Structures are given as structure tokens and as C-alpha cells.
Structure 1
Amino acid sequence: MKPKVYITSKLPEDVADYLRQHCEIEIWDGDRAITGEELAERLTDVEGLMTSGNKVSERLLQSAPKLRAVSNVSVGYNHNDLSAMKARGIIGTHTPYVLDDTVADLALTLMLSAARRVAELDQLVRSGNWQRGLGEQLFGTDVHHAKLGIIGMGRIGEAIAKRAKFGFDMDVAYYNRSRKPATEEKLGVVYQPLDELLAESDFIVLMTPLTPETKHLIGRPQFERMKSSAIFINVSRGDTVDEKALIEALRSKTIRAAGLDVYEQEPVSPDNELLSLDNVVLLPHIGSATHATRNRMAMVAARNLVDALYGREPQYVIPELK
């Protein structure tokens, strides 16, 4: 008898076909995201869950007595209660590597957009306020040959560094919890303590995972160390930044600009003060959102789930659950 699996969002047809070969599947087909309560109702006799961002809490697990595996269609898994999963012996998997280049592309997109004020100037043209001979008040900032500081030199950090170093001739420094000599030699990047990196960089990209140690890693003291001309980019997790401190830094011109793909609350509330600022580029958490990458992520997640349910070692088990 095939194991029963619940999937919280639509799948590419080839991925759904693969899962049907091995499992009895049910897919959420609503025109909005499934709520936690709705998900709990559907997990009473399910052995496998394939999800993208849905909170897997101890309470949810109590509604799923037969659950044996949770497959995340994402690299991050901070929405999973790992302690509760471990206590139940539930296998958890994720999809690293697949999206590295796509997220790195987006980080550079935000850098360029914030530096050259793309969103702001797009609105200027659309509003009909473009007049010949615009003055210096609308000039942007050069990216080429500037200094980039990367906080978190994992796989995506390395991909960003490579694009910056060899595509834009940038001077690249990084801060990481441990030095990476091989990366330094391969890419020509240098390690700096965090305070030095913040003080000297023209662009700062935050690429660290969310852990108890990195929650609000960047707050008021860190923004005050940055250059007044600095541009801050966050493509990691929203909670790695104290958003109130960021808003104040942008409003007071403590830093020049920012580009964000992640936020402390997602989706962003309509009354979030970030929406009123013209020196920040805002994206709706789309780091991996291309057709090709999302399809590859879904297939990796499906294979992880099938392997887990059939007693094989999945390729990408969450490290804390190994």
C-alpha cells in the first residue's frame, strides 16, 4: 500500500507524476495559502508532508499521529520545530544547492536597483514627472569597483562574491563564524571582523541563516557603524535584522539605501513604515522564484520525501535531525 502524502501547494506536473508513482497524494488546490488549522485537519492519516514555508509546530504534529517525514521545498527550515520532530523521530529534509545561483542573481539585482534607484525612477517616469535635465538629486551610486561586504559566506555568499568580484571588479570582504581559506584563495576575497566590514563597505549583503545567535544580528549599533553612503541588502531571513532600527537608519539617512527580499512579518503589513520610504527597494520574498529553479526544488523535495518514506537515506536531511 502506497504511503499517503499531503502537499501544501501546486506542483509541476512531472513532479506530481513522480510522487503518484510512489505515493497516494493530495494537493491543496485553494487560490490562497493553506492555514495552519486547515493543514492540521488534513494530516490525521498522512505519513508524509511536502511543504514550502508552512509552520510545522508541535501542535501541528499532534494532529498528525502517522507522520513520518516532512519535506521542505526550501533551503531554510526555521519554520520547523526541530525539537518536536526529533522527539517524534520524524525525518526532515530541505533543498540546498539548487537555488544558490538564482538567489545570488537576486542579491545583485537588489544591489543594482538600490544603487541606481531603479524603483524610484521607474515611478518618476510612470507618473509623468520626468523632465529634461534632471539634477543631481536623482543621481545614483556606482557598483563597479566599490567595496562589498558579505555577512555569511556559505554557498550563496560565494556565488554573490564571484559575481561581484569578476563581474563588477568589486573589492570583496566577508565575515563568517569561521574563516574559509580555500574561498579566499579561489575568489580573492578577504576576511574581516564584523565591525570592520560594516565600517568600510560600500555595499553590505546579509546572507546568514536564521539561528538564535543571528536573530537581530544587524540592529541600531550595526547601522550606526556603516558609512552614510552604504547600501544594505538582506536576502537571508527577515528576523536577522531589527526592522525598526533599519527603518530609522533609512529615514534619518544613517545609511543611503536598502534592498530587501525578506521581512520580520511576511507578507508585509500595509502600515509597515518601509512602504513609505523611497530609499528602499522591496521585493516579496522571491529569492528562488524562477520557473526553472522552483521546478528543480520541487523535484528534489519529492525525491527526498519518497526516499524517507521508503526507508532510504534522503539526499538532503536537515543537519540537526541527522
Structure 2
Amino acid sequence: MKVLCLWYATKDEITYIKAAMPAGTEVIAAEGEYLSRFDCTYSDVKHHVADADAIIALSVPEGALENAKKLKVFSWLHSGVDDLRLMGALSLFKQRGVKLTNIRGANAVAVAEQAMMFVLTLAKKTLLKHQKLLQRQKPFPLYADEYRSAMLHGRTIGIIGLGQIGSRIAKHAKGFDMHVLGVRRDSGKPVECVDSVHGIDELQSVLARSDYVVVAVPNTPETSQLLGNAEIGAMKPSAFLINISRGSVIREKPLYEALTSSRLRGYAADVWWHYGFGRAFPGASGSRLAVHQLPNVIGSEDQAANADGVLQRNIERGTQNLVEFATGKPLTREVSLELGY
């Protein structure tokens, strides 16, 4: 079996994968000059993709999958597969009978911690007060609305999506004595640390009751544009909205209008919008309305999983996927090519 690593893997990483796989497995990786070792070019792997039985990847250069004619399993070192869907990989895998796996849950701890960092930073006006410190200006007058922190204790947090990330956020929230509401597809299944679980048909009701809302749903066609005019309009003007899912889950214009008209207190995100309208309008990302520049917005750009131990855990889970396939075991983290998760 030939395994191709679609990144410039270190010797230690290659050795780890080879040691985990059945005897006789060949493990190779991209070699060449690079700006980031996690982005490989097609020219550095084109002589390997044609006869690779398995690919484990952090990124996919254009042309690689089309020419991987012997490919049987693809281990994606990310949780979401929307990038693969956009490049047509899911339909290609379905056509060729290729198994797709991901590493869902590997970065759950890091992303949940990032979500709580956003909650606290918004509530405590951390950036504003730090800037005041740098300017040696003590916030004045004391207890004024523009300087007073919000509290978590006794407040309600609504978590939209109760997978491994959302359920961990619930545990963190309980540490701050918060009342936790959750929204998920299967509302009849209780979740630890969630006071009540609601179906998607109750989304607006949960939003209306929440002081903080964290969006942690998977990115699928069903969740795209999940929060629009009606949903954002249902939220309290004093509420904070946090998105650690995907930018497309929230409609940009209603969010912008709410943030600039005092109908929403603040917003934080690690994820932003991607625009792609065909070849005439090339894809781009960010916020065309400059949401990220608003004074009541904080964020990062796809940095929640950039934390200690995450890369190693990603490679471990990605390798486990390949081991399961090679030994004929059920694929623990197989992705449905129909559902996209």
C-alpha cells in the first residue's frame, strides 16, 4: 500500500505514520521548496499521485485528485469538508468509490477554548480596556455603559450545535454558573451540562432567551445562512453572538445592520465569509461590509485550532483512519459523501 502525504512532512511524521501502518506500507511526502510546509504544490507530488492507494492531506493542490486514479481512501486532516466539496472532490470520490474520512473532534478542545475566550473578551471589553491602559487613560466615568463589563454568572448561553465542540463549550459555561440552552437536530437526546435541548424549529425561541449565542454547527447545505434577518432580529439587543462554525452560517448584511444600529451588542468570529460566484467573479474571503472593523467586533482568522498539540493529534487521527482502512476495520470517522459530514 502506498500512502502519500500532501504536505511537506517531517521525517518524524513520516516515521510515525509508517510505524502505525501494516508492514510493507510505503509512506512518502512532498519534497521541494516551500513557503509553508503545509501547502504543497502539484509539481512536487505529481510523480506520486498516480499510483497512491491512500492520501493523507492538509491541503490539495489543483490536479492532484484528478490524477490519483488508484486512490482508495482519502484522510482529510480537518473536521469540515466544505473545501473538498467546493473543488468537486466529494462527487469525484463518489464516482470512483473512494472512502473519505476526517479528524472530527481532534481540535474540539482548542476551538471550545477559543469560543470561551471570545465570550469573555466581548463581555469584559478586554480590547477597549487594554487600549485605555496603553493610552494611560482610566475608563471614566466609573460604571458608564461604554466601559462596564457584562457578567457570565447567572446568564444564559445558547449553543447552536451540540457536537464535540458545542458540548465542551457547555461544560466550560457551567464553570461560570451559566444557564445553558442547546439547539441540535436530535432534540430528544440529552447532553451533559446542557439544561435543555431544543430542535431547530425552536431556534428563534432559544435566541430570544440567550445573553450569549455560540454557533458551532457543521457547515452543510442545511446550515448555510442559518441565522438571517428573523433569527438575528429575535436576539436581545444586549446579547453577544460568537461564530466558530463557518462564516456562511450567518448572513452578513443582517449581522452588519444589527451591529451598527445597537440591535446587537457585539460579535466575535474565527471564521468569515467566502465569496465565489463563478469564474466571472473570482472567490475571495473576509467581509465585504468590513464587519471585522466595527468597534463592537473582535476576531481571528481560522486560528482557533492553532494551539499546542493540535497538529500532532490531527496526524494521529488521520493515521488511525488509514490503519482502520488498511486492516479492514469500520471507519470511525468516515464522512458521508451525500451529507458532507
For residue 138 of structure 2, what is the aligned residue in structure 1? Answer: 131
For residue 333 of structure 2, what is the aligned residue in structure 1? Answer: 316
Tell me, yes or no, if the aligned pair for 2:157 and 2:178 is still in contact at 8 Å.
Answer: yes
SS at match of 2:158: strand
> After the TM superposition, which residues 222-261 of structure 1 pair with which residues of structure 2 at under 5 Å, given as runs?
222-261=231-270
Kindly indicate whether residue 29 of structure 2 is the aligned counterpart of residue 26 of structure 1.
yes
For residue 50 of structure 1, what is the aligned residue in structure 2? Answer: 56
SS at match of 1:62: coil
- The whole-number CA distance in structure 2 between the counterparts of 1:68 and 1:188 is 40
Tell me, yes or no, if the aligned pair for 1:36 and 1:60 is still in contact at 8 Å.
Answer: no
Q: TM-score w.r.t. structure 1 length? A: 0.85
Give the Å deviation of 1:62.
2.0
- The whole-number CA distance in structure 2 between the counterparts of 1:316 and 1:120 is 42
For residue 96 of structure 1, what is the aligned residue in structure 2? Answer: 104
Give the Å deviation of 1:220.
2.1
> After the TM superposition, which residues 213-292 of structure 1 pair with which residues of structure 2 at under 5 Å, given as runs?
213-265=222-274, 268-269=285-286, 273-292=290-309
Give the Å deviation of 1:272.
5.5
What code does the residue aligned with 2:35 have?
D
Tell me, yes or no, if the aligned pair for 2:6 and 2:60 is still in contact at 8 Å.
Answer: no
- The whole-number CA distance in structure 1 between the counterparts of 2:237 and 2:133 is 27
For residue 177 of structure 2, what is the aligned residue in structure 1? Answer: 169
Kindly indicate whether residue 72 of structure 2 is the aligned counterpart of residue 74 of structure 1.
no
Q: Which has the higher contact order (CA 8 A, sep 6+)?
A: 1
> Greater helix share, 1 or 2?
1
Give the Å deviation of 1:122.
2.6
Give the 3 Å change call, closer, same or farther, for CA 124–187 of structure 1 in structure 2. Answer: same
Kindly indicate whether residue 6 of structure 2 is the aligned counterpart of residue 7 of structure 1.
yes
For residue 149 of structure 1, what is the aligned residue in structure 2? Answer: 158
- The whole-number CA distance in structure 2 between the counterparts of 1:133 and 1:44 is 67
List gaps (5 residues or longer) in structure 2.
20-24, 276-283
Give the Å deviation of 1:106.
1.4
1:165-203 deviation line (CA, Å, top 9, x unaligned): 2x01111111111214432xx435113411111111100
- The whole-number CA distance in structure 2 between the counterparts of 1:9 and 1:245 is 42
Give the 3 Å change call, closer, same or farther, for CA 55–221 of structure 1 in structure 2. Answer: farther
Q: TM-score w.r.t. structure 2 length? A: 0.81
Deviates more, 1:142-151 or 1:239-248: 239-248
Give the Å deviation of 1:279.
0.8
Give the Å deviation of 1:45.
3.8
What code does the residue aligned with 1:19 have?
I
Aligned sequence identity (%)? 26
SS at match of 1:265: strand
Give the Å deviation of 1:283.
1.1
Tell me, yes or no, if the aligned pair for 1:237 and 1:262 is still in contact at 8 Å.
Answer: yes
Tell me, yes or no, if the aligned pair for 1:56 and 1:79 is still in contact at 8 Å.
Answer: no
Give the Å deviation of 1:109.
0.9
For residue 281 of structure 2, what is the aligned residue in structure 1? Answer: none
Give the Å deviation of 1:149.
0.7
Give the 3 Å change call, closer, same or farther, for CA 67–156 of structure 1 in structure 2. Answer: same
* Residue 219 of structure 2, aligned match among 210, 222, 226: 210
Tell me, yes or no, if the aligned pair for 1:3 and 1:309 is still in contact at 8 Å.
Answer: no
Tell me, yes or no, if the aligned pair for 1:7 and 1:25 is still in contact at 8 Å.
Answer: no
List gaps (5 residues or longer) in structure 1.
none
Tell me, yes or no, if the aligned pair for 1:148 and 1:205 is still in contact at 8 Å.
Answer: yes
The number of aligned residues is: 314
Give the 3 Å change call, closer, same or farther, for CA 132–312 of structure 1 in structure 2. Answer: closer
